[in-house]
A and B are shown apart, each in its own frame.
Chain A
């Protein structure tokens, strides 16, 4: 498969009064065409910042890295060049539709805005397209909704409008940043269903940013797990769910209460608290909370190791020298 997006050694920082916050540290990943890649992590792990910096939407300090979209290096694109990519080639859906959409602008205008910006069409044609889009995302009575404001809509409907805007120009890549976090579960099911359907119709790739592994399970082809600004593990959905290698991924999977588990099962948890992004440790960021941490983990940052084809993990336990330790713990890791 050909790569649509390649992110290489990306490092991003923010300067604050308290010092430099290293939001993303040396992260690399690829996205194939027509694939759904889920970036999973807890709050502050850098998952949103990573994708926002691909679109250059955050005022961050770009320390190093390379972003290649469709074979072109867009790392040093200026604002004007980025404007031609945003909305037309890459669409984005944000978490909170209420604050991401313009409350003083009619819904129709917000959709036609991006169509008129990127395509050579007349206003009437843009309107026809917008109405089609509204129907496509499952909004009843599009003619009426076209002339309404977003405060007339419910949360689920607003999210549908946002999806319509993001897909207005048939982008090649859709970034969905926590698209269902603000929604109720029954509405979440509707929206995830809609995204899967539209992905087939438009033929785009999706980067799904979420903290909810349940949402990921049915929808993602590949998963990248982030912790404290670093990508700690990536692999196919099955590899991550059934053969997790990194202790953090294991802990995360075990700490989710599952609907299909009995009411008396014990919930395991990861002790400690997420690390301080202001002073990251020189070693592995997870070492302070890791049950299996060794001396080297606190001194040196582990590099990505291939556990099996397509499955990488940044952990010293995956090293050949740690084989005995792995066996002692009964971890099945294919190496």
Chain B
């Protein structure tokens, strides 16, 4: 997907989502994130637990409102939409959730689950036979049978339930699917099935995918571009292969070095950059410091005095680190 002039689908500008805990405490889940997403591409969002990747996904889906900043979808601010526009947006942007057990209503059959969205968005309006036919086709597409349509979610395994979730998302003919850790509850052999399915469906329907995961190897495999988040900020954004070959931000470097490779010889010869300590609390994080300064092996006093911005460090490659900008690290 390297078309020169790609249609911009999402323009996320300085998006912030804060959660007020009490009078003095604010949790900054997403802090000043800017991102452009083109039609037909897959953007991966990676980071450790609590980095704000899920909140970012949910804010884009409009499940949360933004504290400040904008999300432009086809040029239109999603938080300034009227009811009708919002309804259309809800149809075009679908979501697949992490937990296939709790994201399907246990009292509805698979057919009802998939039909619900179709009724809501007038797909094959008033023609139940056509709807049923479409449901059968969707089930086949995600690797299930039409006999499965009249069963309940508890009769399925985790991988099959995730397929039902995918069929439900596809039922309203979306343009974008936000996948929030779609395979983290699944075994590796099943994970590979679901990922291949998503990739094939993307090609077939020209979908745009926003793929949120903590598994960097998986994100590398599925994404065209990857954004790395740390403590609410996006610290690096680059084309997939670039990011893994030449990580610019010290956090990305440490994160990538910590991911084990299933090959004893390769793994034993790798140097792991060990980060000291834990991720700091996202409550009341200072606005005028680099979010990674407390754990960064290269931190200087200047790092805790101003917040670096995401800036171009290579071809299509952005990072928020002063060191990289000054050319002090090999990019």
Tally of contact residues, A, Cβ under 8 A: 45
Does A325 belong to the interface (CB within 8 Å)? no
Which residues from 206 to 240 on chain B have a C-beta closer than 8 Å to any C-beta of chain A? 214-218, 220-221, 223-224, 240
Given contacts A186-B48, A273-B159, contact A214 B189 (CB under 8 A): no
Q: B263 contacts A269, CB within 8 Å?
A: no
Name which of A84-92, A141-149, A187-195, A298-306 contacts chain B.
A187-195
Question: Mask for A209-251, Cβ within 8 A of B = 1, else 0?
Answer: 0011111111000000000000000000110010000000001
Which residues from 262 to 276 on chain A have a C-beta closer than 8 Å to any C-beta of chain B? 262-263, 265-271, 273-274
Q: B157 contacts A256, CB within 8 Å?
A: no
Q: How far is the CB of A302 from chain B (nearest CB, A)?
A: 20
Name which of B174-182, B250-258, B304-312 contacts chain A.
B250-258
Q: How far is the CB of B325 from chain A (nearest CB, A)?
A: 24
Q: B223 contacts A185, CB within 8 Å?
A: no
Does B108 belong to the interface (CB within 8 Å)? no
Q: Which residues of A contact B48 (CB under 8 A)?
A: 184-186
Q: A255 contacts B191, CB within 8 Å?
A: yes
Q: Which residues of A contact B272 (CB under 8 A)?
A: 189, 193
Does A253 belong to the interface (CB within 8 Å)? yes
Q: B221 contacts A261, CB within 8 Å?
A: yes
Q: B268 contacts A218, CB within 8 Å?
A: yes
Q: How far is the CB of A303 from chain B (nearest CB, A)?
A: 24
Main secondary structure of the interface of B (DSSP, over half): helix
Q: Which residues of B contact A189 (CB under 8 A)?
A: 257-258, 272, 274
Given contacts A257-B195, A259-B217, contact A214 B260 (CB under 8 A): yes
Pick from A42, A184, A218, A262: contact of B188, CB below 8 A.
Answer: A42
Given contacts A267-B195, A273-B159, contact A218 B189 (CB under 8 A): no
Does B133 belong to the interface (CB within 8 Å)? no
Closest to A153 in B: B278
Closest to A214 in B: B260
Q: A270 contacts B192, CB within 8 Å?
A: yes
- In the bound assembly, the distance between CA atoms of A42 and B186 in angstroms comes to 9
Does B244 belong to the interface (CB within 8 Å)? yes
Q: A157 contacts B189, CB within 8 Å?
A: no
Q: Which residues of B contact A256 (CB under 8 A)?
A: 188, 192, 217, 262
Q: How far is the CB of A73 from chain B (nearest CB, A)?
A: 34
Interface residues on B, range: 35 or more
Q: A212 contacts B274, CB within 8 Å?
A: no
Q: Which residues of B contact A217 (CB under 8 A)?
A: 260-264, 266-268
Q: How far is the CB of A212 from chain B (nearest CB, A)?
A: 7
Q: A215 contacts B260, CB within 8 Å?
A: yes
Q: A263 contacts B240, CB within 8 Å?
A: yes
- In the bound assembly, the distance between CA atoms of A201 and B241 in angstroms comes to 40
Q: A237 contacts B192, CB within 8 Å?
A: no
Closest to B187 in A: A42
Q: Which residues of B contact A212 (CB under 8 A)?
A: 260
Q: A214 contacts B267, CB within 8 Å?
A: yes
Does B190 belong to the interface (CB within 8 Å)? yes
Which residues from 14 to 71 on chain A have a C-beta closer than 8 Å to any C-beta of chain B? 42-43
Pick from B195, B224, B264, B274: contact of A241, CB below 8 A.
Answer: B264
Does B36 belong to the interface (CB within 8 Å)? no
Does A156 belong to the interface (CB within 8 Å)? yes
Give B contacts to A, CB under 8 Å. 48-49, 157, 159-160, 187-193, 195-196, 214-218, 220-221, 223-224, 240-241, 244, 254-264, 266-268, 272, 274-275, 278-279
Given A255-B189, A273-B157, 19 new contacts (CB under 8 A): A157-B278, A184-B49, A184-B279, A185-B48, A185-B259, A186-B255, A189-B274, A190-B274, A212-B260, A217-B263, A259-B217, A259-B244, A259-B261, A267-B221, A269-B190, A269-B193, A270-B189, A271-B193, A274-B187
